[in-house]
Amino acid sequence: MIPKIELKKFYTATQAQPHDWLGMHAGTQAKVKGLAVRAFLRDTVACEVVDASGESKTSWPMKALGEGFFEGFIARRKKHFRYMLRATLGNGEVRQFFDPYSFLPTLGAQDLYLFNEGNEHRIYNKLGAQVRNLGGVSGVAFSVWAPSAARVSIVGNFNAWDGRFHPMRPLGASGVWEIFVPGLGEGELYKFELRDQAGNIHLKTDPYGTYFEAPPNNASIVCNPTKHAWGDEAWMKRREEAATKLDRPISIYELHVGSWKRKAGDANRVLTYRELAPELADYLVEMGFTHVEVLPISEHPFDGSWGYQVTGFFAPTQRYGTPEDFAFFVDYLHQRGIGVIVDWVPAHFPRDSFALAEFDGSHLYEHADPRQGAHQDWGTLIFNYGRNEVRCFLIASALSWFDRFHIDGLRVDAVASMLYLDYSRKAGEWIPNKYGGRENLEAIDFLRRTNDLVHHYYPGALMVAEESTAFSGVTKPTKDGGLGFDLKWNMGWMHDNLRYFSKESVHRKWHHNDVTFGALYQFTENFVTALSHDEVVHGKASLLIKMGAYHISEKAAHLRSLYGHMWAWPGKKLLFMGCEFGQSSEWNYTTGLDWRLLQYLDHEGIRLLVRDLNRLYTSEPVLSANDFNSQGFRWVACHDADASVIAYLRSDPFQMTYFLVAGHFTPTQRSGYRVGVPRKGFWREVINTNSQYYGGSGVGNNGGVQAEPIPAHGFEHSVSLTLPPNSTTILKWVQEE
């Protein structure tokens, strides 16, 4: 009853409408009406239809029309009924199972409409591989968006990776293909086999996959990522209560999961998520950090990309465990009072043939024109943010990390490359927007939508931009014309200060502007003062070795003075792992940090200073509540370039608490250096980066100084300070009784 031309399509794997022929359909044979049942089964020599409706125990034999293809006719039965297939395999084994082609689509018209419109925010719960129970039959519903494909099949161990079996059906004009395969469950490996319009075959992993096989096979794995029993209710409640407040301490430890520590004596093995959680939590609590930010843990094939070339936008990488293991990691840190921020990379994706690139034989996720779709710096592809389904995919990726894994924030990578069409391009290598400008209007709209939706669904979540240009309003609310981020990395401060501190002391007076210029724009955005992983790789040297001195002890003193200045400066804090103890070598993603250095005071002293700076920062609201309040900062002395001295005040809006910060960045001691202060009384020394405790010489102000009625720097009172060599001193005004 099936036309030969349609039968041939099954054997040649070109059948694009398998549900029109396979399964149960009304039919006529010898002028008798009834039901036709067809099946295309691998390694099967005989098959019959078994009544599973409970009405009878009848079975009907099916005729083999060719190798593996069977057709049966049930005469004078007009109403479809529940049935199973009983197949005899070539080895004589008999199996009985529900027919995949007997089930209705698992996606509804509303799901598809919202997806095509770009507004199905939970599409990750519908596309991909979803474990379902349909009418008491358990299995996996597979679906994939591939509008230009000529045929799509699901392949895996269950069908010997043969695309002739389990071809999927297209769902109208949505571009989505779907099939429900009974009997499959978690742990099953699979991929999508797509035939494009030119007849080429593409074997692709699931764009919505939640778990993946390790390279080189990279198969998707059926997995329910939401099985973890969470115990972080108290943390999540506190986070929601702080939803609109950024006047709290945020000190972030930036971490690469695979190279923080390695398993001792075990072939340099990486720690798993479960092994890392307690050890890292102990360290972060002791060090006083409030958050950890992990470099991208989304699945990626190449270790050397550090996770920034993503192929699995919904999946924690298998390198360190399962999705449930990652959920345990987040939960454990939450219960220890540590927030978790994840790097997210919606700016580009790699060209790996098994992933998103030319997914269905067309430029589906990326722009076709390389002037829009190719990243020249990284050799990657740029998302087409103007395509509804692509935007839906990326927004869903962002939301899924909050939903499934309770993360506290996303640090969005390479925002600058998204904002500008001419990013890192010469004239003629880019296409202007519809107004003739260089702004990527579609990417800007995407970022605004993403930020608004994250804040809508997850109050208290943080959205952080790594953005290196002067684009206006990155952290301004979208309702006011901004991008809607909560925080932005202060790349300018990072580069200026590292350039300054890398100079030898004798030359710094000619570069004094580097250490003062940041105040001009400090309060234009909600900044994170960051010293990140990007500054300690690719021949840039570690932060310690960057310092403008010759000996490690001198370099350590310079680095301590930089950290003192950094923690006292307005803005939230971020420091990359290893920098907190002044690792000498550049960061190497293939090994653990050089923890043995902590036996030396030059390195242990830096660590102790960072710990004490965090404790000061988190315990003194003046230093965190006024990070974005220009009235909480005032220069006292910023022009003494010859002495390489700066001094500034941090205060609360009511001027009831004051901190005086004095930085001195030459190797000579300066005694009797007079600095104006707004209050008489005692100014207690709370941090001296030259303390012997941190590895310094111990020169300081003997616990504090008394203000004198001597005018200086526009104040009626002043203090006479001893400024140790290469140091930052922080003093707190003690209110007189």
**DSSP assignment letter at 247:** -
CA angle 50, 53, 56 (to 5 degrees): 70
CA proximity to 443, closest of 393, 399, 382: 382
Beta carbons within 8 Å of 233's beta carbon, 6+ residues apart: none
Residue 254 is encoded by which pair of tokens? 């930036």
Dist. CA 186–CA 481, nearest whole Å: 45
Which helix (H) or strand (E) segment holds residue 565: the answer is: helix 552-568
| C-alpha angle 17-364-428 in degrees, rounded to nearest 5 | 150
Contact assessment for residue 680 and residue 554, using Cβ atoms and an 8 Å cutoff: no
The residue from 71, 188, 413, 525 that is catalytic is 413
Number of continuous H segments (helices) and E segments (strands) in the chain: 15, 38
Token pair for 388: 């509804």
Q: Is the dihedral of CA 718, 722, 728, 732 positive or negative?
A: negative
Tokens describing residue 413:
């990578």
Residue type present at position 376:
Q
Residue in this structure with the two tokens 């400024």, named with its chain if needed? 723
CB 488 within 8 A of CB 525: yes
Rounded to 5 degrees, φ, ψ at 16 are: -95, -10
Burial of 426 (0-12, 13-18, 19+ CB in 10 A): exposed
Has 466 been annotated as catalytic? yes
List, as one string, the DSSP characters of 649-665: EEE-TTS--EEEEEEE-
Q: What is the DSSP letter of 708?
A: B
CB proximity list for 662: less than 8 A, separation 6 or greater = 645, 646, 647, 673, 675, 721, 723, 728, 729, 730, 731
DSSP string covering 9-57: HHHTT--S-GGGTSEEEEEEETTEEEEEEEEE-TTEEEEEEEE-SSS--
* Beta carbons of 730 and 563 less than 8 angstroms apart: no
In whole angstroms, what is the distance from residue 204 CA to residue 149 CA? Answer: 12
User: Which of 42, 33, 115, 107 has the alpha carbon at shortest distance from 77?
Assistant: 33
Distance CA 7, CA 285 (A): 66
**452 labelled catalytic:** no
Q: Rounded to an integer, what is the distance from CA 453 to the centroid of its chain?
A: 16
Q: Which of 442, 466, 535, 652 is catalytic?
A: 466
Give dist(CA 245, CA 455) in Å, integer.
12
Encoded amino acid at 558, one letter:
H
Distance from C-alpha of 176 to C-alpha of 192, rounded to nearest angstrom:
12
Active site residues: 413, 466
